[in-house]
Amino acid sequence: MRALTIRRPDDWHLHLRDGDMLKGVIGDTSRHFARAIIMPNLVPPVVTTADAQAYRERILAALPKGDRFEPLMTLYLTEQTSPDDVEAGKASGLITAVKLYPAGATTNSHGGVRDLDKAMPVLERMAKIGLPLCVHGEVTTPEVDIFDREAVFIDTVLDPLRRRLPDLKVTMEHVTTKEGIDYIRESQHNLAGSITTHHLMINRNAILVGGIRPHYYCLPVAKREHHRLALRAAAVSGDARFFLGTDSAPHIDPLKECGCGCAGIYTSINTMSCLAHVFEEENALDRLEAFTSLNGPAWYGLLPNEERITLTKGDSPIKFPAKIETDAGIVTVFDPLVPLYWHVASS
């Protein structure tokens, strides 16, 4: 197959940041994607419906002229979040989901939740009104090894929460382990998982072999190869519970290339080429559309996009920039470590 036309994709987990960074990166998403779930971990975070409304307007104002793109807004769950504000946000159509960051789990998460009991009134309201909870599924307990944090989260936080609130719809975001995939597969209802582009392409060797490579460091951190293979199998399976969430997370180079580099990989610009490559390797190009354009909207109760994009496969590797320049600084683009031949020919 040399050409593939699919419904326009959506990105169910995206960091756009704010200000100059937002202006520098949004076009890389709006070029190919119709919608994205926008992460609320700004500094300070997006905690109220009013914050989300203002942020949405800044996103729309930053869009390149002529691009049509719908930001799907989320609220950053805190122990003080008001159930009424969340319900009003959903009722107005502004809020698509609420995001749980365990405090300290990742970039800009210090204001996240320490004691889930304190967030129960909001979670109960969300279960009642059918508003999904997006979860960064890692424990932050210092004793737990960083490579085990997702699996321990499932056993000690996620599963008890789902038993307590079976009506709560939960998206386990950026699943990185076979345990996560198996847990979603075994679930009967109200659980789905997003998978990033980079976790389908790299394992932890990319970060550590031959020198420390900060541009492959993200959270949850990439795991062993057998986990990557489990993610691939789930992504290409067509199972409606798995869909794309790139977790494209731009940071300027000096913040990644230093003694304590921050977590995040920037993939918006070449995600569709990477995914076509992965799905072709897995003989599953016919299921790419389910992963990028059908399963996500179905889970969030939205219609798939009517517009189409066409991917074509060239004879020589495509070129994309190694770095992009923004007014906030230079951002390194994800290097998938293999040549890519597919590109979005029309969108």
Active site residues: 247
Of the listed pieces 100-108, 200-208, 236-244, 277-285, which binds ligand NCD according to CB under 6 A? 100-108
- For 274-310, b/e burial (b = at least 16 CB within 10 A) is bbbbbbbebebbebbbbbbbbbbbebbeeebbeeebe
Q: Which is nearer to ligand NCD, 89 or 137 (CB)?
A: 137
Size of the site for Zn ion (CB under 5 A): 1
Among candidate residues 131, 140, 139, 138, the one with its CA nearest the CA of residue 170: 131
Binding of residue 263 to ligand NCD (CB under 6 A): yes
Given ligand NCD, Zn ion, none, residue 218, with its beta carbon under 5 to 8 Å by kind, binds: ligand NCD
Among 126, 127, 175, 219, interactor with ligand NCD by CB under 6 A: 219
Among candidate residues 98, 153, 103, 93, the one with its CA nearest the CA of residue 121: 98
Answer whether 243's CB lies under 8 Å from 292's CB: yes
Binding of residue 138 to Zn ion (CB under 5 A): no
Adjacent-strand bridge partners of 135: 100, 172
Among candidate residues 94, 100, 81, 239, the one with its CA nearest the CA of residue 174: 100
- Minimum distance of Zn ion from residue 249's CB (angstroms): 5
Of the listed pieces 78-86, 88-96, 103-111, 338-346, which binds ligand NCD according to CB under 6 A? 103-111
Cα–Cα separations (whole angstroms), residue 191 to 111, 113, 173, 214: 25, 20, 10, 32
Among 11, 87, 239, 247, interactor with Zn ion by CB under 5 A: 247
Token pair, residue 237, equals: 């399976």
Binding of residue 41 to ligand NCD (CB under 6 A): yes
- Minimum distance of ligand NCD from residue 136's CB (angstroms): 6
For residues 50 and 280, what is the distance between their CA atoms, to the nearest angstrom?
Answer: 43
Of the listed pieces 42-50, 69-77, 201-209, 246-254, which binds Zn ion according to CB under 5 A? 246-254
Given ligand NCD, Zn ion, none, residue 246, with its beta carbon under 5 to 8 Å by kind, binds: none
Binding of residue 107 to ligand NCD (CB under 6 A): yes
Q: Which is nearer to Zn ion, 239 or 247 (CB)?
A: 247
- Minimum distance of ligand NCD from residue 333's CB (angstroms): 15
For residues 55 and 10, what is the distance between their CA atoms, to the nearest angstrom?
Answer: 19
Among all residues, whose Cβ is closest to Zn ion? 247
Counting other chains too, the contacts that 278-284 makes at CB distance below 8 Å and 24 or more residues apart are 278/200, 278/201, 278/232, 278/235, 278/236, 279/235, 279/236, 280/1, 280/313, 280/342, 282/232, 282/236, 284/236, 284/238
Binding of residue 264 to ligand NCD (CB under 6 A): yes
Binding of residue 218 to ligand NCD (CB under 6 A): yes
- List all residues 6 or more positions away from 314 whose beta carbon is below 8 Å from its beta carbon: 341, 342, 343
Q: Which is nearer to Zn ion, 138 or 247 (CB)?
A: 247
Binding of residue 150 to Zn ion (CB under 5 A): no
Q: Which is nearer to ligand NCD, 251 or 277 (CB)?
A: 251
Among 96, 106, 267, 273, interactor with ligand NCD by CB under 6 A: 106
- Minimum distance of ligand NCD from residue 48's CB (angstroms): 20
Q: For the chain, how many residues are written?
A: 347
Binding of residue 255 to ligand NCD (CB under 6 A): no
The residues of the shown chain that bind ligand NCD, judged by CB under 6 A, are 15, 41, 106-108, 136, 218-219, 247, 249, 263-264
The residues of the shown chain that bind Zn ion, judged by CB under 5 A, are 247
